[in-house]
Amino acid sequence: MNCIIVDDDKMSCKILEGYVNKSTSLNLIGTFSDSVEARNILTKRQDIDLIILDIQMPEMDGFDFIGSLDYPPNIIIVSAAEEYAVKAFDFNVVDYLLKPVSYGRFCKAIDKTIRYYSHKEAANTGDEEIFIKKSSSLVKLKLKDIIYIEALENYVTLTTNDDRFTIHFTMKAIENQLPSGIFIRVHRSYIINKSMIQTIKENSLDLIVGDSLKSIPVGKSFRDTLLNDINVMAR
């Protein structure tokens, strides 16, 4: 996995670089003491699989840094402050390590990341199965069977050809969990399965839902990303 270290503590960086270089699973792309500089690198490179990130940094702290990324890679937090741990997991980080970080604890976090990374890679096929709560039961569902997801205040609805499921989740959180190879956000309130697109219009698109078409709005700020993500043949 390609990784970067983002930490303004020079001693911590030196230790973490040593740990990374010992690992046969990691390839260190760079170390950054400035979170803004690290963000600029991430906007130019799409091959970063892991960020080892400090929380307390000047200009932009770790949480603001994560929040500024459209599609954050795997993230391991390293911090001298224990009180940020609960908040960190709200950002779907893989692990939270307290400084000074021991080599054994670092290895454990990397093993966890590799398992999580492999899980995400498998999810990109859409064959991964999840269980969704419906009434008092848990229903098994393949990711690729989800046609679109709609935001409803603090809930989202998942629509398939056969059913609809309402779960207590934010759009941002569910977007981070879905494989980007299959799903794309096209509006503040909609995430869609790209394979179900039938027609793209100026401000909307049509999805195939069973034997009919479902019109979904496309937000102006999402349209260019959508068109860049799909194969478009034009004269």
Q: How confident is the model at residue 131 (pLDDT cuts 50, 70, 90)?
A: confident
Q: Work out the percent of the chain whose per-residue pLDDT is above 70.
A: 94
Name every residue whose Cβ is closer than 8 Å to that of residue 216 and which is 6 or more positions away in sequence: 148, 186, 187, 190, 192, 204, 205, 206, 207
Q: How confident is the model at residue 7 (pLDDT cuts 50, 70, 90)?
A: very high
pLDDT at 177: 78
pLDDT of 123 above 60: no
pLDDT digits (tens, 9 = 90+) for 35-47: 999 999 998 888 8
Q: How confident is the model at residue 92 (pLDDT cuts 50, 70, 90)?
A: confident
96-110, 129-143, 188-202: the lowest-pLDDT one:
129-143
Any idea which residue has 């096929």 for tokens?
125
pLDDT at 41: 92
pLDDT of 235 above 60: no
pLDDT of 169 above 50: yes
pTM for the full model? 0.57
pLDDT at 125: 57
Give 178-224 as a 3 state SS string. CCCCCEEEEECCEEEEHHHEEEECCCEEEEEECCEEEEEECCHHHHH
Q: Work out the percent of the chain whose per-residue pLDDT is above 90.
A: 63
Extended beta strands in 103-173, E state: 129-134, 137-142, 148-152, 155-159, 164-167
Q: Indicate the average pLDDT of the chain.
A: 90
Domains and CATH numbers, the chain: 2-123 (3.40.50.2300), 129-229 (2.40.50.1020)
Cα–Cα distance, 13 to 194 (Å, whole number): 40
pLDDT at 127: 66
Q: How confident is the model at residue 121 (pLDDT cuts 50, 70, 90)?
A: low
